[in-house]
Amino acid sequence: MAAWVAEAISDGHHLICEAGTGIGKSFGYLVPAITSGKRVVIATSTKTLQDQIAGDLPRILDVTRAAGYDPGIAILKGRASYVCPAKAADRDSQLTLGRNVEAANDPIDAVISWWQEGGDGQRDHAPMELTSSEWATISTSGMECPAARCSYSKNCPAMEALEDASEADIVICNHHLYGADIASEGSVLGHHDAVVFDEAHRLEDALCSSVGITLTPRRITIYISQVDALLKRLDVDISRRKSLVSDLWAHAKEFAAWMERSVGTVTVPLAGAEHATVRKLSDAIKAVNGAIVSATQQPGARFDQTVIGRKERTLNLAGHLLGDLTVLSQGDAYNEEHVCWIESGPVLRTSPISIAGSLGARAAAVATICTSATLTVNGSFTALAKTLGYSTEVTDMSDPNEDGDPLRYMALRIGSPFDYASQAALYLPQLPDPNDDGWGDAVADLASDLVVHAGGRALILCTSNAAVARIADKITKHQRSSLGDGHQILVQGAMARLKLLETFRDDPSSVLIATMGFWEGVDITGDSCQIVILDRIPFPRPDDPLWQARRKATQDEGFPPFATIDLPRAANLTAQGAGRLIRTDTDRGLIVLCDSRLRTRSYGKTILATLPEMPVFTESADAASYLDSL
């Protein structure tokens, strides 16, 4: 893998590399990146994985330094991952004014002190764990932060991280930041020769969400609360302040009510009454902006630095809000290649239907390397390549760009070093079709039988919250009658994700039942996870507006949507879910796929082909005796 990555970086080629679990993929791209002498960005899917890569670096650098390679390396996370000094000072000034004095000894102050005494200001490295709402009081989103215009930017960990990244040879960021870089035409990461996308199977979703709009009533409420507090501190006349804020509330409520009524696909630009609703909210925001600017420009007006910081942040928040509302009302930067919809909540989202164009444009100038444990469908990279905007696959490194096409790609597939044939087995139980009425109860019965038989040790991955509740209920009742109450049934949402995973790992008699967020990124080794049960094939929802738009676009291009996009996505996620079982060469266990369509429909073969080869059972007695042998 390292040789192929080195070739891609040095010659500016593109590479898609499927590297099975346990292969050491991060070493496979870090070593050639470090020794390349080029500026390379490494983008992975989560902050946790960024930290894991950072943890691998010292061992690699020990070796490469001895060979004369010692590039500058920076880790860059999103703005909200760092303590914001402007907000910390603002909070401090409020405490000094006598407000919230009782909070003076709280963990938020401890985190601020840690940063002031030399900590790096990253949430993930803080000595105290803060809740999201606590952390929000001392951090700032990219939408709120005025960056270099901020009067606190000289002593700001987020800005320091950006500066370090701009000077580094190797930058380790995440997919969302890379999406922000594409959307801002390179202003986040600057020029780079190559990018490595780790966990590349998640790239499409991350890039779509990072370049789209997400608008909720709560986002507007937070902005209005900030406006109210700022106008007070700017000494704006009370009747003027009340009038401005009540106008904002009135139009925000009207906007929220429209969102509530309009769940589903939305046509942009809006017309008629909807257009008027958005315009009135925009006008109210502009009126507030005018009042803020005018209050700070009054002759003799003097405000302390924290008030000026708050003004800068509020204006920035307003700017982003106005920008998003303008997209809705005027369709700026929005065309037939985008989709807009409202989910219950309500949450309004826009997204490009495809990232092929924007990523393909980037790939025309930058070598791109995509890697993950699961990228192929039926042994082919074609579906992913189409998603990412590549053109033709080439099978060797001789001359990938020989016909002048900058979007040709090299393909490399390296199997897992684990011996699945002896470490794992696949159980395809005989159950009703998932569309039949009795399927849900049959799956819950089966899962319950297996969990009780094995004494816990199971990770159950579901495609819906209803399935989680049904299976948890069944296991609870069954377990009480068979084993007593000694086994923990851990259900997603009952505690924080990290705590849930720690509890599951530390108690082999427990069972963890969760939905889609746990199909990937769960890495539990040993006895605690010897059964992985997937309730059904995770096809994208037929009524998901983004997927509906993708299906239509695929059809318009002359390709069958199901085979071209739905099936590859489902196959990839099935492989990801099943991949939770074997994480080391000593892990052993059983994968249970409760969707009978894997045996009865022709596409079942395609999905099963994404899994490593291992013994297959269809009878419960065989599955039970396999579990007994573990």
Q: Which of 14, 79, 386, 536 binds ligand SF4 (CB under 6 A)?
A: 79
* Least gap, CB of 225 to ligand SF4 (angstroms): 17
Q: Quick check: 156 binds ligand SF4 (CB under 6 A)?
A: yes
Q: Quick check: 223 binds ligand SF4 (CB under 6 A)?
A: no
* Least gap, CB of 215 to ligand SF4 (angstroms): 22
Q: What tokens appear for 528 in the block? A: 């605690």
- Count interface residues toward ligand SF4 (CB under 6 A): 14
Q: Quick check: 60 binds ligand SF4 (CB under 6 A)?
A: no
* Least gap, CB of 84 to ligand SF4 (angstroms): 3
Q: Which of 487, 457, 491 is nearest to 473 (CA)?
A: 491
* Least gap, CB of 87 to ligand SF4 (angstroms): 6
* Least gap, CB of 220 to ligand SF4 (angstroms): 20
* Least gap, CB of 227 to ligand SF4 (angstroms): 17
Which residues 6+ apart lie within 8 Å of 127 measured at CB? 110, 111, 114, 119
Cα separation, 581 vs 572, in Å, equals 15
- How far CA 218 is from CA of 138, 224, 247, 310, 345, in Å, comes to 18, 10, 17, 19, 10
Determine the residue type at 530: Q
Phi-psi region of 456 (alpha: psi -120 to 50; beta: other; left: phi over 0): left
Beta bridge partners of 591: 426, 532
Q: Which of 320, 310, 315 is nearest to 234 (CA)?
A: 310
DSSP codes, 4-22: HHHHHHHHT-EEEEEE-TT
Q: Which stretch binds ligand SF4 (CB under 6 A): 51-59, 151-159, 548-556, 593-601?
A: 151-159
Q: Quick check: 85 binds ligand SF4 (CB under 6 A)?
A: yes
Cα separation, 596 vs 598, in Å, equals 5
Query: What x-and-dash track marks residues 125-144 binding ligand SF4 by CB under 6 A?
Result: ---------------x----
Tally Cβ neighbours within 10 Å of residue 312: 20
Q: Which of 15, 130, 138, 145 binds ligand SF4 (CB under 6 A)?
A: 145
* Least gap, CB of 522 to ligand SF4 (angstroms): 32
Query: What x-and-dash track marks residues 299-318 binding ligand SF4 by CB under 6 A?
Result: --------------x-----
Beta bridge partners of 373: none
**Terminal-to-terminal C-alpha distance of the chain:** 33
Asked if 210 and 174 count as a contact pair (C-beta separation under 8 A), the reply is no
Q: Which of 9, 84, 425, 546 binds ligand SF4 (CB under 6 A)?
A: 84
* Least gap, CB of 303 to ligand SF4 (angstroms): 16
Q: Which of 2, 61, 147, 322 binds ligand SF4 (CB under 6 A)?
A: 147
560-599 binders of ligand SF4 (CB under 6 A): none
Q: Which stretch binds ligand SF4 (CB under 6 A): 43-51, 154-162, 417-425, 520-528?
A: 154-162
Report cis status (omega within 30 of 0) of the bond before 269.
Answer: yes
- Residues forming contacts to ligand SF4 in the complex (CB under 6 A) are 79, 84-86, 140, 145, 147, 150, 152-153, 156, 158-159, 313
